[in-house]
A and B are shown apart, each in its own frame.
Chain A
Amino acid sequence: MDNPLLLAPIFVPLAGAALAVLLARYLRVQHVIGLTVTLLAWLASLAVLYANWIGGVQVYRVGGYAPPYGIVLAADLLSALLEVMATTVVLAGMIYVLGCKDKCISLPAFMPLFLCMAAGLHGAFYTGDIFTFFVFQELMVLSSVVLVGISDNRLGVEAAIKYLLISSMGTLFLLVGIAAVYATFGTLTLADIARLLSGGERPVLAQAAAVMLMCAFLVKSAVFPFHFWQPDFHTAAPTPVHAILSSVVVKVGVYGLFRLTLLLFTAEAPLVRSLLLVLGLIGIFFGSLAALRTYDAKRMLAYSTFGQIGFILVGIGWGTPLALVGALVYTLNHAFIKASLLMLTGLVSSRMPNKSARLTEIGGAGNTMALINILYLLGGMALAGVPPLNGFISKLALVRGGIEAQSWLVIGLAVAAGLLTLMYMMRTWQLIFQRAPDPELHLKPYSDNPTAPALLIGLCVLLGVYAVPLVQLATEAVNRLGDPNLYIRAVLGG
C-alpha cells in the first residue's frame, strides 16, 4: 500500500525552497516558510515511524511505476528512525536559524540552500533506489558546500573547496559503484538488488562493488583515512549548518553501511565488518586525541565526531543484534548531543567580539551564562556517556553488544578511549564556563537564541531517563533487518 507521507519530508522542504527563492526579498516570510516546512517534515516523519511500527515497511511508488521499473521510496524501521533523527535536528537547526545573529543567515540564498540541504538529507534516508540516493546526496553536498562557502567564517571558502574536491572523490566512488551494480544486476532498486544477491548470484564484481560503495560511504561519514575534509569544513560552517552537518549529515554514510552489510552484500559483510572494526577503532583514537589538543571549541566537536562515528562503526563491525541496536541507538543519540553542543558553543562564540571559538580567546566567556553553562555540562556528560543521560544508554547498549560478540580487545580499547571523551569535554567545559573571564574581554550584549539547544538537551535528558521507546524501536528495527526478505517483499510485492 502506498503511503504518500513518505513524500512530505522531501518535497515539502523542496517546495519551501522554491517559495523561498521566489520571496527572497522578504526575510520574515522566508523564516515563516522555513519553520513551517521543517515542522511539517518532522510531523510527517513521526507519522511514518508510527505507521512503520504498526504496519511494517512503508512504500511509495513514485509516478505509479512498480519497482524495479520506476523509483520507489521505501522506509523500513531503520530508515524511519534515522529520518526522525534527521528531521528533528533539522527542525532544531531551523529554530536556531531564526534566532541566529550571523550575517550569512540574512542572505536571501541562505534559506533555500538550507531547505535544499534538508530535502537532500531526508531523501537519502527514504529512497529505495540506489541512484536516487546518489542524486539526493548530491543535492545535500552542493547545498552544504555553498552554505559553508558563504559562512561568516573567513575560512569558509577554503574549507568548501577542499570538501568539494574530496567529496567529488567520494561521489566518483559512489557513482562507479552504482554503475557497477547496474551493469551487473540491471536494476537500481535496492530491494531488487538484494533479491538477486540473496538468490545466490555471485557476479565477479559483487565484492569489488561492495568495497567501492563502502569507500564512498566512508568518505561521506568522514572515517579514517577519508576524513581530512571534515574538521575544516564543519568548523567553518555557520553554527546551525555545522550542527546539522556534524550530527546528521555524517550519518548518511553510516546509514549506507547499515544497508550495505544488512540488506545488500550480506555475503560480503564479514569482510566489510572486519574493515569497519579496524577503521572504527582508529577513528575513535584519532578523533578523541585530536579533540583533546585542538585549538578551537567548535573544531574539537568536529574531531569528536570522528571518534563518535568510530564507536558506531565498531558496533556495526561487531554485527551481533545487540551491537547493532547499540550502534543504532548511538547514531541517534549522538546526533542530538552533538547538535546541541555545537549550538551551545556557537551561542557562546556569538557573544565574542570576533565570533571566535578559539580556546585561547573563549576562556571564561561563558562564566556568566548560567543556563548555557548547565546545558553544556549536560551535553558534555551525555557525549562522554555519563548516566543518566542518553549517551549512557548508547554506551551501555554498545558494550553489551561487544560482550555478546566477545570481542575483548576492541571493548577494552573503545572503553578506554571513552575516558578521552570525558577528558576533552570536561576540560573545555571548565575552560569556557568555569574560568574567570579575561577582564579585557568585552562580550556582546546579545547572543543567538538558546531555545533550540535547550530543546535538544531536554531531548537528551528525556532519552536517558525514559530510554525504553528508543531502545525498543531500535531493537525491533534490528530484528526486522535480520530478515532482508521482509524489506524485499514489501518493496517488490509478493
Chain B
Amino acid sequence: MGIALLSFVPALAGLLLPRKLPRTPQTWLLAALAAALFVVLLTYLPVVSEVGHLEFDFPWVPELGLSLTLYLDGLALLFALIVTGIGAVILLYAGYYFEDSAERGRFYALLLGFMSAMLALVLAGNVLTLFIAWELTSLLSFLLISFKNEKEEARAGALQALIITGGGGLALFVGLLLLGTAAGSMRISDILANETLTQHPWYTPFTLLLFAGCFSKSAQFPLHFWLPGAMSAPTPASAYLHSATMVKAGIYLLARLYPPLHETLLWQNTLLLVGMSTLAVGALFALRQRDLKAALAYSTISQLGALTALCALPDYLGTKALLVGVLAHSLYKATLFLMVGAVDHQTGTRNLDELGGLRKTMPQWALVTVVAALSMAGFPPLLGFVAKETLLEAMLRQPLALFVVVFSAVLTVAMAVIMVWEVFFGESRSAAHHDEHHAQHPVPWQMLLGPLLLAAASILAGLNLEGFVTPLIDPTLEKEFELVLFPGFNLPFFISVIAFPSGLTLFSTRAIWRRARVPQPPDAAAIYRALVGSVERAADLVLRSQGGKIRYYLIVILVAMSLLMATGGLLRVFEQPWPFEFSGSTDVLKTALLLFTLGATLASVVFKNHLTATLCLGVAGYSIGGVFLLEPAPDVALVQFLVETLATVLLIIMLVKISPQARERAIANIWSNTRRGLARDIILSSIIGGGVALFALAAVLHRPIPQTIALWHLDNALPLVGIPDVVGAIITDFRAMDTVIEITVFGIVGLGVLTLLTVTKPVGDWPLRPLQALRSIDLRTLRIKRPTPEAPDAPPSAIFDTQTPGMRFATPLTRTIAKIVLPVALLLALAQLLYAGEGPGDGFTAGVTSGLGVALWYIVFGYGETRRRLRWLRPRRLIGGGIALVVLNAVVPMFFGYPFLAHLSFDLPLPANLHLSSTLVFEIGIFLTVFGSSSLVMQAIAQPRDVEEA
C-alpha cells in the first residue's frame, strides 16, 4: 500500500529540505534517501515475481477517467530500480559537482522533482496518470537543459527539446485517449487484458500516435536531434535524464504496451525500421563528434535505436535482450557521462581536440572509464557483453537488421576506444590550459564514488548473472529463459570476435577518415528550424490582417455579418406574403416623416460642413420624434425630442472646440476616398441597412403570437402601479431594473467624459491629454498621429473663452435669458417629476430639461463664471446621490417583506392630486442622476484646457 506513495517521496524531500543546509549533510541525506527507496523497491522483487503484478487504485477524477493507480510488475520494478539506483549515484555526485550552494539547491529541487515524475511514470497504472508523469518529465527536462539560463544556446536547446517532446506528448495524449476509449478503460491492467485491440478500427491511428510520442521522447530518428541539443544541461542531469532514465520512457511505454498491441505488421515493421535507422545514424554520428557529451548523446541515440528494434520482434523474442540492454546501458553510459563531467570540471573543456593524457592527473577516473568503455564495446565479462550477445541472438532471424547491428557494433567499439584513448592517453594537448584549471577545480573524491559503484556493478553483474541480473528480469519474462555469460561458440560470439579487430582498425585509421568529407545527410535540426521558420512566417502573415485601420475592420465584420445572415435564413422572409396597407391619413403623414428622416440622414452624410451635418442629424431625430407623436406616444416623443436636442447641442459644442482647420482636414481626408472605395462603402452600407430594414420589416409583419405581455401591461398599469401611463409604469415598475442600470450607464458616461477630458496622461515622453489625443486622431484610420511641434494645431475657435470676460455670447440679453431659463427649467422639471405618472415627462426628461438649462449657462457665462455662480451645482454628487437613492429605494421594500424594487404606495392625503409612492423616490433618483450627468458633461466640455480638476 505504502509503495503507492513512493513516487511522491523525492519531490516532498525537495520541497521540505532546508535550502541552507551545508553541502555534506544535504548531499548524503538525499543520496541515502534515494538509496533507501532503491532498497524498498528491492524488497518487492520476490513479491512481484510471485504474484505477477500489484495494483492499487485511488479515484481522482472518475468523470474523466483519471485515477491514481499503481501498477507494479517486473518491468515497472526494473525501471524504478534504475531510476532510484542511478538517482542515488547522481545525487551524490551532484552535491560535489556544483560549487555554488544556490545553484546546488536549485538543481536538487529540479532533479528530485524529476525523480518523482519518472517514478510516477514507470509505476503508473492508468495511461492518463502515465501521461501526466510523462509531461512532467518533459517539462523538468526543459528546465534542467536551460539550467544555465543566461546562455542563449541553453535556452534554445531547451525549447527545442520541449517542442519536440511536447509535440510528441500531444500525439501520445490523443493516442492514449483513443487506446483507452477503445479498450473501454484507462487502466493499464484492463488494457493489457484486452486481446482484441489489434482488431479495433482505431488500431492504426492510435498506434501511430503512440509511436510519435515514444519516438520523440526516446530520440528516435528522425526526431533524435533534440538530444544532442539538450547537452547544455549540467552533466549530472544529462547522465540521469538524457541517458539513464527519461529517454528510456519511450522504450518503457513500447515494452509496456507490447503484449496487447504487437501482433501486427504495422507494429513490427515500423519499430524495426525506425530502430535500425536510429541505431546506424547514432553510431555513425557519434564518431564524428568532437564534443565528448555530444558523442555520448549520439551513442545513446544509437543504443535507444537498438532497444526500439528489440520491441519490434514478434513472440517476445526481444524481451530478454531489451531488459539486459536497458540495464547495461544505464550502468555504463551514466558512468561515462559522469566521467565527462569530472573531466570538464577539472580541465574546463570537454572537447576531444583539447584533451589527452589525463591518466596522470586522474588515474582513478581512467580506470573507471576503461571499465565502462569496455562494457559499452561489449567486452567480456562485462554486462555490456551480455547485452550485445543477447541482442545479436535476438536479431538472428532478421538478416538485414543483423547486418546493421554488426555494423554499428564495430562503430561502437571504435567510439569506446576513442573515448578512453583520446582523453586519458596520448599526450596532453594543451597542458597550460589544464594546469590553470587544475588549481581551481580539483575533482573531490566523493564525485568518484558513484561512477566507481556503477563500474563495479557492470563487472559484478557480468560475472554473476544468476545473482544480479536474472532476478531482475525474471518476473517480466513469462517463459523460461537462460542467461549465461558464455553461451558457447555460436554465431553471436563469432560476430563479437570480428567486431573487436574491425573496431580497432577503424580507430587506428581515424586520422584518415576524419579528414574525408562525408556527404551530410539531411539535417533534421535544419528541418526543424525551417518548420519553425515557416510557422513564424505564417504568423507574420496572420498579423498583417491586424493592420489597425478600422475601416477594414468594419468592412470585414459587416461582410461577414451579411454573409452569415444571408445563409442564416434572412432571405427566407421573401417567401412570405408582404401585406402592406395604408389606413388613414396618419399613415401617410408617418410615411412622409420617415422619408424626411431618410433625407435628413443622407444630407448629414453628404454635407461637408460639420455644423450643417449635425443639424441635419438633429432634424432626422426630430422627425422620428414626430412619428412617435403620431403613434400616439407623447411620452416617448418627448424623450426623443429632448435627447435629440441635448445630443445636437453637445455635438455642436464639441465640434466647435476643434479648430476649423483640423475639421477641414478630417473632411478632406474622408472625401479623398477613391471612386471604388466610395462605391464599396455605399454598396456595403446599403446591404447592411437594407438587411436590417428587411429584418425589422419581417419581424413586424410576421407576428404569429399574440402580444401577451404588452396586453398584460396595458391591463395592469393602473390596478398594480396606480398610474394610467403605461410607459411610465413599465419604466418605473414592471421593468424598473432596466431603468436602474440605464441611468447608471448615463451617470458613468458623464463621469467618464469628465475624466477623459480633464486628466493628463502621464506616460513616457509624450504627455498627452485625451482631448488632444482625440484631436490628433487621423479620422480615416483612427490612428493617433504624433503632434508635430513645428506645426501646432491652430487654437480652437473660442466658444468658451474663459480667460477673457468679454464672451461672444455674453450680451446683457442672453445673460438675462440664461438667468431666467434655468429656474424655469428646474420648475418644469419639478412638475414633470411630481406628475410623472399622469402627463408626459418623467424623471429622465426632467433631468435633461434642467441639464439644457445649465448648458445655456455654460455657453453664455463661460466655464469660470458658471462654476462660480452655480456653486450649489455639484454634478458628481448628484450622480452618486441619484444612483444611491435609486438603489436604496429598491432595497427598502425588502425590509418590509416586499420584493426588491417592489412598488410601495403611501396613502397620504396630499393636495393638488399628488401621490406619494416609491415611484416618486425612484423618479427623483433618475432626475438627480440624469441632471448631474448632463451638467457634468457640459462642465467637462466647457472646461478650459489648463485647469486640472477631476
Residues of chain A at the chain B interface (Cβ within 8 Å): 2, 4, 7, 11, 14-15, 17-22, 24, 60-65, 68-71, 103-104, 107-109, 112-113, 116, 119-120, 123, 131-132, 135-136, 138-139, 142-143, 145-146, 149-150, 152-158, 161-162, 165-166, 169, 172-173, 176, 179-180, 183-188, 196, 201, 203-205, 207-208, 210-212, 214-215, 219, 225-226, 228-229, 231-232, 271, 275, 285-286, 289-290, 292-294, 325, 354-355, 367, 381, 384, 386-388, 392-393, 395-397, 399-400, 403, 408, 411-412, 415-416, 418-420, 422-423, 426-427, 430, 433-436, 467-468, 471-472, 475
7 examples of A-B residue contacts, CB within 8 angstroms: A116-B748, A120-B741, A184-B703, A205-B695, A207-B569, A271-B568, A292-B536
Measured between alpha carbons, how far is A179 from B693 in the docked complex, in Å?
12
Q: Closest CB-CB distance, A89 to chain B, in whole Å?
A: 21
State whether B572 touches A293 (Cβ < 8 A).
Answer: no
Q: Which residues of A contact B751 (CB under 8 A)?
A: 21, 109, 112-113, 146
Q: Contact check: which of B142, B162, B553, B702 meets A166 at CB < 8 Å?
A: B553
Interface residues of B in 192-206 (CB under 8 A from A): 205
Provide the bound-state CA to CA distance between A254 and B90, in Å: 50
CA separation between A172 and B734, bound complex, in Å?
A: 24
B167 contacts the other chain (CB 8 A) = yes
Complex formed: what's the CA distance from A372 to B154 in Å? 21
Known: A65-B734, A146-B756, A275-B564. 14 other contacts (CB 8 A): A24-B876, A108-B755, A119-B744, A142-B752, A157-B777, A158-B773, A158-B784, A180-B696, A183-B703, A201-B704, A204-B702, A210-B568, A285-B542, A289-B543
Tell me the bound Cα distance from A226 to B135 in angstroms. Answer: 35
User: Given the complex, which residues of B lie within 8 Å of A132, measured CB to CB?
Assistant: 735, 737-738, 741
Query: Which B residue sits closest to A182, measured CB to CB?
Result: B699
Interface set, chain B 220-279, CB cutoff 8 A to A: none
Known: A64-B898, A176-B692. A411 touches B703 (CB 8 A): no
Question: A293's contact among B540, B698, B777, B888, by CB below 8 Å, is which?
Answer: B540
Whole-angstrom distance between the Cβ of B896 and the nearest chain A Cβ:
12
Question: Is B403 positioned at the interface, with any CB of A under 8 Å from its CB?
Answer: no
Contacts A63-B733, A139-B741, A139-B744; is A388 near B163 (CB within 8 Å)?
Answer: no
Complex Cα distance, B556 from A286, in Å, reads 15
CB <8 Å contact, B570 and A135: no
B557:A219 contact, CB within 8 angstroms: yes
Task: Kindly state the separation between the CA atoms of A205 and B695 in the bound complex, as whole angstroms.
Answer: 8
A440–B899 Cα distance when bound, in Å, is 63
Indicate which residue in A203, A293, A436 contacts B539 across the interface (CB closer than 8 Å). A293
CB closest chain-A residue, reference B899: A64
**Bound complex: CA A282 to CA B933 (Å):** 43
Most buried by B among A139, A173, A203, A208: A208
Given the complex of chains A and B, what is the CA–CA distance between A131 and B738 in angstroms?
8
Please give, as numbers and ranges, the residues of chain A lying within 8 Å of B716 by CB-CB distance.
69
Across the interface, A162 reaches (CB within 8 A) one of B167, B550, B567, namely B550
- Residue of A208, A416, A475 near B170 (CB, 8 A) is A416
Ranked 9 nearest A-B pairs via Cβ: A211-B568, A21-B880, A146-B752, A207-B569, A183-B699, A22-B880, A434-B149, A387-B132, A228-B553
Query: Which of A169, A208, A355 touches B565 (beta carbons < 8 Å)?
Result: A208
**Contact residues of B with A, CB < 8 Å?**
60-66, 128, 131-132, 135-136, 139, 142, 146, 149-150, 155, 158-159, 162-163, 166-167, 170-171, 173-174, 177-178, 181, 205, 535-536, 538-540, 542-543, 546, 548, 550, 553-554, 556-558, 560-561, 564-565, 567-570, 572-573, 575-576, 692, 695-696, 698-700, 702-710, 712-713, 716, 720, 733-738, 740-742, 744-745, 747-749, 751-752, 754-756, 759, 761-764, 766, 768, 770, 773-774, 777, 782-784, 876-877, 879-881, 883-884, 887-888, 890-891, 894, 898-903, 950
Measured CA separation A275–B567 after assembly (Å) = 11
Q: Are B63 and A211 in contact (CB under 8 A)?
A: no
Q: Are B748 and A208 in contact (CB under 8 A)?
A: no
Shortest A190–chain B CB gap in Å is 14
B705:A63 contact, CB within 8 angstroms: no
Given that A14-B883, A103-B762 are contacting pairs, would A207 and B695 also be in contact in the complex, using a CB cutoff of 8 Å? Answer: no
Cα–Cα distance between A208 and B702 once the two chains are bound (Å): 13
C-alpha gap A11/B159 in the complex (Å)? 49
With A153-B763, A211-B565, A467-B61 given, is the CB distance from A289 to B883 under 8 Å? Answer: no
Contact B773 A154 (CB under 8 A): yes
In the complex, what distance in Å separates the CA atom of A387 from the CA atom of B172? Answer: 14
Which of A22, A154, A232, A418 meets B766, CB within 8 Å? A154
Q: Does the CB pair A396–B745 fall under 8 Å?
A: no
Q: A2-B899, A186-B707, A207-B569 are in contact. Are A475 and B738 (CB under 8 A)?
A: no
The closest CB in chain B to the CB of A22 belongs to: B880
Determine chain B's interface SS by DSSP, over half rule.
Answer: helix
Taken together as a complex, chains A and B put the C-alpha atoms of A103 and B733 apart, in Å, by: 41
B881 touches A154 (CB 8 A): no
Q: Which residues of B contact A285 (CB under 8 A)?
A: 542
Inter-chain CA distance A20–B733, complex, in Å, is 27
- A212–B755 Cα distance when bound, in Å, is 35
Q: Distance (Å) between the CB of B278 and the closest chain A CB? A: 23
Question: Judging by beta carbons under 8 Å apart, are A290 and B546 in contact?
Answer: yes
Centre residue among A201, A212, A325 by max chain B CB count within 10 A: A212
B761 touches A468 (CB 8 A): no
Q: Binding site of A, secondary structure by majority: helix, strand, loop or mixed?
A: helix
Inter-chain contact A188/B709, CB cutoff 8 Å:
yes
Are A399 and B695 in contact, with the CB atoms below 8 A?
no
* CB-defined contacts of A21 to chain B, threshold 8 Å: 747, 751, 876-877, 879-880, 883
Chain B residues, CB < 8 A from A60: 899-900
- State A101–B914 Cα separation when bound (angstroms): 53
Measured CB to CB, the nearest residue on chain A to B162 is A426
Query: A426 near B768 (CB under 8 angstroms)?
Result: no
Residues of A within 8 A of B782 (CB): 158, 161-162, 165
> Bound state CA distance, A120 and B749, in angstroms?
14
Q: Within 8 Å CB of B205, what residues of A?
A: 408
A207 to B702, CA, bound (A): 14
Decide: B705 and A225 in contact? CB cutoff 8 A: no
A165–B581 Cα distance when bound, in Å, is 37
Q: CA A112 – CA B882 in complex, angstroms?
A: 14
- The chain A residue with its CB closest to the CB of B891 is A11
Partner of A388, one of B132, B174, B535, B741: B132
Q: Is the CB of B568 within 8 A of A155?
A: no
Contact A290 B163 (CB under 8 A): no
Give every chain A residue within 8 A of B557 (Cβ-Cβ): 166, 169, 219, 225-226, 228
Please name all residues of chain B whose beta carbon is closer than 8 Å to the beta carbon of A113 when the two chains form the complex: 748, 751-752
CB neighbours (8 Å) of B764 from chain A are 154, 354
With a cutoff of 8 Å between Cβ atoms, the chain B residues found around residue A387 in the complex are 131-132, 135-136
* B561 and A215 contact, CB distance less than 8 A: yes
Within 8 Å by CB of A228, from B546, B737, B762, B784, lies B546
CA distance A22 to B932 in the complex (A): 12
CA distance A478 to B541 in the complex (A): 39
Q: Check A18 against B900 for contact (C-beta < 8 Å).
A: no
Given contacts A22-B877, A165-B554, contact A292 B539 (CB under 8 A): yes
The answer to whether B167 and A419 have CB atoms under 8 Å apart is yes
Q: Which chain B residues lie closer than 8 Å to A65 at the CB level?
A: 720, 733-734
Chain B hits for A207, CB < 8 A:
568-569, 572
Q: Report how far A173 CA is from B565 CA in the complex, Å.
A: 11
Within 8 Å CB of B546, what residues of A? 228, 231, 290
Given the interface pairs A203-B704, A354-B764, the reply to whether A426 lies near B159 with Cβ below 8 Å is yes
Complex: A411 Cα to B174 Cα, angstroms:
9
User: Once the chains are docked, how many angstroms separate the CA of A395 from the CA of B176?
Assistant: 14
Given contacts A11-B887, A62-B900, contact A19 B880 (CB under 8 A): yes
Q: Which residues of B contact A169 (CB under 8 A)?
A: 554, 557-558, 561
Decide if B756 touches A399 in the complex (CB within 8 Å): no
Contacts of A7 in B (CB 8 A): 900
Whether A392 contacts B745 by the Cβ 8 Å rule is no
Q: Is B61 touching A471 in the complex (CB atoms < 8 A)?
A: yes
Chain A positions within 8 Å of B548 at CB level: 232
A153 and chain B: residue at smallest CB distance: B763
